[in-house]
Amino acid sequence: MILCEDNKIKIKGPVTINNVITLKEEVISLFVDSSHLVVDLENILEVDSSVVSMLLEWLRESNRRKCRLHFVNVPENIRSLIQLYGVSEFLPLGLNNKLTD
């Protein structure tokens, strides 16, 4: 599930091979009218390796559309996958980023 308010996007539920394409496309559609988006990943309940490709695709597409993208509240399991695949230098992840309302 994707919740969007202003420039903040919250992803809730699982991100797996079963739903990653839908999630990827839904978020990319939000890049059209935005110059900056913050994606909150705190409420992602389950992941597989497809989450890494989704984040990279969002970043590529946001750059192409001149939309700054920043990820916050990245769960440890996602951070571990990002490090495992050696792509941490490509993704704008902060250590203690919290989404504030």
Q: What is the pLDDT of residues 6-21, one digit of tens each?
A: 889 999 999 999 999 9
User: Would you say 35 and 68 are in contact if contact means Cβ atoms under 8 Å apart?
Assistant: yes
Q: Over the stretch 40-72, which tens digit does the pLDDT of each residue have?
A: 999 999 999 999 999 999 999 999 999 999 999
This model's pTM is above 0.75: yes
The CATH number given to 2-90 is 3.30.750.24
User: Would you say 58 and 87 are in contact if contact means Cβ atoms under 8 Å apart?
Assistant: no
What is the torsional sign of CA 42, 48, 54, 59? positive
* Domain ranges within the chain, ordered by starting residue: 2-90
> For residue 66, which amino acid is it?
K
